[in-house]
Structure 1
Amino acid sequence: MKLKTILALIFLMIGSVASFAQGIPGKSAIRGRLIDSATRKPAEFVTVSLSNTNKQQIKVVAGKIDGTFVMTDIQHGKFVLNFLLLGYNTKTIDVTIDNSKQLLDLGEIVINTASKQLKTVSVKAARPVISQEADRLAYDVQADPAGKHSTVLEMMRKVPMLTVDGEDNVQLNGASGARIFINGKPSSLMERNAKDVLKSMPASSIQKIEVITTPSSKYDAEGVAGIINIVTNKALADGYNANISLNHRLPLGGPSVGGAYSTKSGKLGLSLFGGAGSANTPTTTNDIARTGKNGATSALFQYGDREKDDRNAYLGIELSYELDSLDLLSGQFNINGSKGTGSIFQNSVLRNNGVVEQVYDLFNQNDNNGRGADAAINYQKGYRRHKNQLTTLSYRYFGFANEQNADQRFANRLDYDLPNFRQANRSIMNEHTVQLDHVYPINKSSIEAGAKAIYRTNESDFKYLSADAADNYAIDPAKTNTFNNMQTILAAYSSYQYSAKSWSVKAGVRLENTIIDADFLTTATQVKQNYFNVVPSVVFSRRFKTTGITFGWNQRIQRPGINQLNPFVDRSNPSFETTGNPDLRPTQGNQIRIGFDRTGKWNLVTSLVCNWINGLIFPVSQYDEATTITRTRFENTGGAIAAGTNINFTYPISPALGLSLNGSLVHGWADGISNGQPIKNRGFMYNCNLATNLKLNNGWRVGANAYLNGGQLTVQQRSNAYVTTTLNASKDIIKDKLTFSALVNNPFDKYRLNVTNAFGPNFDQLSNDQQNFRVFGASLNYKFGKLKEAIKKNKRGINNDDVSN
């Protein structure tokens, strides 16, 4: 297998390198300088757009403070240049580029001030919130007024194909397993406790949320659902820019602060974002009713309450230094930490044929804390022959550590003799990655190729301590172990992109070989695995005047992460034990997507999607009638299919009133095995978000939002539907600088009941989990600083999107 892998990697790289030796025809550039007709001074920051003779926009650049602009990489032909600046008449120039003009210098271009006063200027078209490319779509958070007072997690409910369930888990096309990036790169912020960070991250600190629906072969093959990329606010140059947001939510949630800062001086650029927050969950009730069937006669009922408090903080930094016009050195560093405490009270009653057999009260005190960090350095080399030809060499380190501790004490026992006990689990992950990428443009085409090596270690040290009659605790060796998991991943990829007029096609293949060596140190047992994957992808797109269509197909795999591999047995509820499985193998999935979009006065983005997965990794629950314990363990069994549609529609009813609709409808088929018997689950999953906002006088804006979630479906579970509502108002205290916002979520319901139905061959189970629902919130957002141009960043970097959580 190793020889086969090495030969495949060599042939792939040879084919790609051979293509680099070919040349491309030259392209041309346009430059000029805009002058105010009255003052003869430079016109600052003019928007310059280039369109073809069919009025299709090809390129847009922004002029500089001295009035100059440069537009490069232009094909030969006839074009129209448009110059736009608020307060000036639009100016249009016809230009022709041919082989004799490598540089077209237009010299000074005079633009005239508009004869109308500024107050008569009206906006003819709203800034589009949704944009779509061949392999992704993007939601412009800055174009949505709700971005001033919402968190990133709340904004995700508006993004096409994304769903946020009742427990704040983010799903893509109704499936878990999506990877979440920051600025196109994996981040420790999203590896440990993504939903807690997303709940505390203000939406005002990010630019857009991208959904990469058909990841190309340059991405690791991991992530059967796809990739979600959060793009922080753009950094500009020669100056500084910053924003800070203060938020408070009660009774559910708490205070949080977040912001971003960017600066550039000469060749050195710095960008950072960070925040901290508190998430308090007041006391709520819950109950579980489990009944046996097919001869199983016992019935368990548990009732209790719980509360928890969580805190987290995060910081991300990016640096770039332009060695010269072609060479760029950049780096990133992210760090995050979290700490939480909680308590659970539970009364448990077990009956057999209606007769009480066992009773106890359980008091659980638990705490958890963790920290994560990642750092990367990238060297990017450009080439004079073509600005898009790039070679990038990158190194990245990533690691995190999580600790869980729980103290279980029993009281009011009836025929229950399990002693008080304590559990402790410490899990650590470290990885080192080296990656080489090369991009080579050829006329209307582009070839990308690269190679990558990852060395990853997962460690888990779990302990179980039992108390004796004198309340002295000692380690139970039978329930204690140390687990080490080492992974070596070798990969290579090649992709090809071709664009002609309105057509575009992108295809590629990725080869990955994974070697796993796992050890149970305490029991002296081992697990060894070696598997090889060939992962293809292809995307077609066609643009028309105001519409576009896309078609994509790709294969993905999903390797199990430490939480799924870890054999630590969580016994915090003695009647329900959960554990990982070190024998898990990767899941393999396929996705087909057909998309359509329209832009204009109203905007529409819709698609048809079908996912099918083999060897599905999912938690299998098995009920043991002899011990009356339900044991849940991750398994590679069964498969799943999810097929459906999603739609996003925005319409400006008037210049002051806007309406948007975002929704999806998916039918799921899931099959598996429990207690040696086949099980299956079928049903629809749906969600819909309807939002409207009204702009009033004097900087006021009000809005309303209604979100319907139709519940989630897994192999052995189904959750209920629910509706959330939000009313919000905001006021620009200082225009485009200081904004105050207030909101109320679900003003009509203090609590929501999350109902989950679970089943197996010999049991049925109903869980009712009360959740705090009514929330009041307020936020203050402040922007300041002045910048001019974008900080230069490397265009390639390490993306380790190859494991699931």
Structure 2
Amino acid sequence: MKTSMLLAQLMLLLLALLAFQKKAIGQNQNYRISGSVSDSVSGKYLDFITINLMTDRNTVIKADYTKTDGSFLFSGLKPLPYEVVIVGVGYKKKVVKADLSKSTELALGNIQMTSETVGLKEVTVSGTKQVIKQEIDRISYDLQADPESKVFSVLDMMRKVPYLSLDADNNIYLKGNADFKILINGKPSSMVERSYKDILRSMPASSIERIEVITTPPAKYDAEGLAGIINIITSKKVDNGINGSVNINERFPFGGPGVGGSVSARLGKWGMTAMAGGSVYNIPETYNTVTRITNSSTPTNLWQNSYNISKSRSGYIGYEVSYEVDTLNLISGQINFNGSKSSGTNAQWSVLNGSGEILQQYGLDNRNSGNGTGMDAALNYQKGFKADKNRLLTFSYRFFRFDNNQDADLAISERINYPLPDYRQLNDQSFSEQTIQVDYVYPYKKLNIEAGLKAIIRDNKSDFQYRQFTENSSDFEVVPGLSNKFANMQNVYGVYNTYQYNLKSWGFKAGARLEQTTMNADFISTESTMKQNYLNVIPSVSISKKFKKHNSGMNLGYSQRIQRPGIYQLNPFVDRSNPNFERTGNPNLRPALVHDFQIGYNRAAKGSLNFSGGGIFFTDLIFPVSVYDPVTNINRISFDNTGTARLFMANLSWNYPFTKRWNMNVNARAAHGKVHGTVNMQPVTNQGIMVQTNVSSGYRFEKNWRINANLNYTGPSINLQGSSNSYLFSSLSVSKDVVKDKLSLSASVNNPFTKFRQNYRYTSGPDFEQTDYRREYFRSFNVSANYKFGKLKDAIKKNKRGIRNDDVQN
């Protein structure tokens, strides 16, 4: 830890020394370009218009904003020919030649900007740079436009994306819901199928172009994902060359070193993109307590405290390749590998009291480990047509698999009324999937038609064993009654049809998806089976209206979604790592259904505003349910289709440039939720207000220095049987471009005033009340270096349609 602190101090000292270095006065300081910008119709001078000074169409030398009188000035230039590129929200881009090779000063005069009719597919809602974009059914956040992408991981940056929030355990929520699907470049990836947190916190945000939040998924996407879809775009642009980026970072006292990056290349008709990374994530000792009070016929009081240490390693590598046979035929493929290993120790002390005496007491030493591997491979063929190159026919195939193995050794000591011997738990899980898909896109004048067929074949398996120590053999032997082998075959067959119609200021998008699901579960050890078969019709509608005034617009959307249970919820493996709390899955779960209504308004003037509200209604909602057994004094936590719920919410995203150097961004959500369900055959209702707010502000100094501050508040959350406490997250970061557009150094501190976070979770049932308290490290320091190489030019051609399996809960 001392070494890491020293590294951080040296990094901050280096950045400080660079900040105060004297400005060199070169021989070319008198070469200047000046001008002003105004509206071509009203003649009004325009402020906060982006001005880029370029030596060619790909190299920006300087960038600035017009002042309140519309003027701009570039000085300290070299005697070269330049291009001045002027970009303003709601105006057509303007390019003006500026040749300084023959004079020391060039006045371009008044440059008039022409209004641009806003397209239906996309409207910029950022007043300075295109940080946020609103489309008919989604909103996107441009990470390359946010300087903090050089400091943080993709997981850290999720806090700033509209509709997204993170809790204290870094779990992502989309519109307050943990059920969503993550795609990479519009496609599923094994990198984020099994454990997205491990991968996203090892993935540098500087390697990502943007994050899309698809709030009203159209019918071409699978029906699963109650809240929507998160699409992470990593693709880069390159023309007959190579470009990429590499990021090296360190986080302490919890976390560890990490490295990641991406590289793209194009050689004639071949295009290739690769990304790789890895990280170490260590959590020093944390402290937990559990208190449970029961009010059955024999009241009891359970008290547990424990100390935990965990270590994990994760890595990923992905590769995409495409070959352009000719202008109408394209072949592409991808392959991804990822893996992780974890280990941990848990020392627990447990005391159960009742009637003024100790009913049970024991000490528990739990040493656990786990490892997982995943891979997926896909092949796509895209056929265009001479009559219309936007007409596309695509055939796709994908194979995906992951394995996850868990092992825990548990030793009992200092027993009072605890007769069970030491034991081991093993749970080996595997998941494989094959997908075949055909998509057809047919544009006709202002109407765009999409249709497709899809078949998904899934195979889930689990082999879980409970081994008990026997003195006769001095070894651990399998207990058949507590062990089983579980196999679950699930097939999904789908067909969809979507229509999008564009008028001058209106856009309409509607479609429906028909899905047939069959499932066969087999408990091999107990020779029992279970079958399910259900049909779902899933509609979706999106409407957009654009207004000329203030470059604004409105969006209206409705979608119906389903949540099929995943293997973790179905698997009947019983986790007995805490003898007083057993956790298991439920193979009898049915899919949950949701109706999602939302309306939004966006505006882009000097600042930007995006506001949306809506309601979400759930039936057969899958909830974890905790039931207390007074005979065994054990709480059994499982999943059940016990819930109906409704959620009314409002989301706000606001960006405002106070000056050309200082801007602020606010991303907020407020919701009122009400949940009904059944716990232990008794009705339960819970409701409350949930709030998440992120405020970030950045200031750009001279010499390519940047400082950013973030403040994030997450209010209490609620579920069927309880709630959790609120918390405040803050961070401060500083970055410096040492070599412009190439090498940057960054440092940050998270929660500088709070070393530990106090996390409370409250749970109750008809006959018990429980409080879980966890104290964990909250303050952390980050240092990173980011290097970019190559030039960005024409985009690698990729299939516009491909497999997106977004129908299984994360």
What band does the TM-score fall into relative to the shorter chain?
A: 0.7 to 0.9
Distance in 1 (CA, whole Å) between partners of 2:612 and 2:445 is 31
Q: CA deviation at 1:276?
A: 0.2
Counterpart code for 2:496: Y
| Counterpart AA for 1:215 | P
- Cα distance in 1, alignment partners of residues 425 and 621 from structure 2: 30
- What is the CA–CA distance in structure 1 between the aligned matches of 2:133 and 2:589, rounded to whole Å? 38
* Deviation, structure 1 residue 176: 1.1
SS across alignment from 1:388: coil
How much does 1:717 deviate? 2.3
What percentage of residue pairs aligned between the two structures are identical? 47
Task: Give the Cα separation in 2 of the matches to 1:790 and 1:91.
Answer: 23
Structure 1 187/90 Cα, relative in aligned 2: closer, same or farther at 3 Å?
closer
Structure 1 stretch 709-718 or stretch 326-335: which is displaced more?
A: 709-718
Asked if 1:725 is matched to 2:764, the reply is no
**Any stretches of 5+ residues in structure 2 without a counterpart?**
1-39, 45-51, 59-79, 88-94, 114-126
Aligned residues between the structures: 716
1:280-679 to 2 correspondence within 5 Å? 280-293=282-295, 295-469=297-471, 471-545=474-548, 546-679=551-684
1:773 aligns with 2:778: yes
Equivalent of 1:242 in 231, 234, 244: 244
1:517–1:528 CA contact under 8 A, matched in 2: yes
Structure 1 partner of 2:187: 185
Quote the offset at 1:353 in angstroms.
2.6
User: After superposition, what is the alpha-carbon deviation per residue over 1:528-553, rounded to whole angstroms, capped at 9, x for unaligned?
Assistant: 11100000000000112210100000
Give the distance between the partners of 2:359 and 2:109, measured in 1 at CA: 79
d(CA) in 1 for partners of 2:712 and 2:110? Answer: 32
How far apart are the structure 1 equivalents of 2:748 and 2:650?
Answer: 31
SS in 1 for 2:156: helix
Once residues 659 and 235 of structure 2 are traced to their aligned partners in structure 1, the CA distance between those partners, rounded to angstroms, is 28
Q: 1:360 to 1:589 in 2, by over 3 A?
A: same
Q: 1:592 to 1:478 in 2, by over 3 A?
A: same
Partners of 1:463 and 1:479 within 8 A in 2? yes
Do the aligned residues in 2 keep the contact of 1:603 with 1:651 (CA within 8 Å)? yes
User: For the residues of structure 1 that align with 2:84 and 2:613, how far apart are their CA atoms?
Assistant: 43
Provide the secondary structure at the position in 1 that maps to 2:390: strand
Q: Letter of the 1:190 partner, please give it.
A: V
Give me the whole-angstrom Cα distance separating, in 2, the residues matched to 1:116 and 1:456.
69
**Counterparts of 1:260 and 1:86, CA distance in 2:** 33
Q: State the shift of 1:234 in Å.
A: 2.1
CA shift for structure 1 position 692: 0.9
Question: 1:727: Cα distance to partner?
Answer: 1.1
Q: 1:195 — aligned with what?
A: 197
After the TM superposition, which of the residue ranges 120-129 and 276-285 deviates more from structure 2?
A: 120-129
For residue 88 of structure 1, report the CA deviation from its aligned partner. 3.5
Matches of 2:219 and 2:643, distance apart in 1: 27
Deviations 1:262-310 (A, max 9, x none): 0001000000111000100000100000001254501100011101000
Q: 1:701 aligns with which of 689, 692, 706?
A: 706
Which of 62, 79, 88 is residue 83 of structure 2 equivalent to?
88
Partner of 2:693: 688
After TM superposition, the score normalised by the length of structure 1 is 0.86
Tell me which amino acid in the other structure corresponds to 2:634: I
1:495-515 deviation digits (Å, cap 9, x = unpaired) = 100001111000001000011
Deviation, 1:609, is: 2.3
Which residue identity lines up with residue 777 of structure 1 in the other structure? N
Deviates more, 1:223-232 or 1:295-304: 295-304
- Per the TM alignment, residue 394 of structure 1 is displaced from its structure 2 partner at its CA by 0.2
User: 1:785: how far off?
Assistant: 0.9
Change beyond 3 A, Cα 1:118–1:755: farther
CA RMSD across the alignment: 2.5
Cα distance change of structure 1 residues 760 and 119 upon mapping to structure 2, 3 Å threshold:
farther
Change (3 A) 1:778 1:121: farther
TM-score (norm 2): 0.86
Query: Residue 422 of structure 1 aligns to a residue in which SS?
Result: strand
**Partner Cα distance (1:531, 1:86) in 2:** 67
CA contact (8 A) 1:130 1:605 kept: no
CA distance, structure 1, for counterparts of residue 581 and residue 57 of structure 2 = 69
Corresponding position of 1:257: 259
Mapped partners of 2:770, 2:639: distance in 1: 19
Q: Which residue of 2 aligns with 1:741?
A: 746
- C-alpha displacement at 1:87, in angstroms? 3.6
- Distance in 1 (alpha carbons) for counterparts of 2:109 and 2:243: 28
Deviation at 1:118, TM superposition (A): 8.8
SS at match of 1:786: coil
CA contact (8 A) 2:745 2:786 kept: yes
Partner SS for 1:697: coil
The Cα offsets for residues 198-225 of structure 1, whole Å up to 9 and x where unpaired, read as: 1111100000110000000000000011
Give the secondary structure class of the aligned counterpart of 1:441: strand
Does structure 2 conserve the Cα–Cα contact (< 8 Å) formed by 1:178 and 1:228? yes
Distance 1:344 1:456 in 2: 35
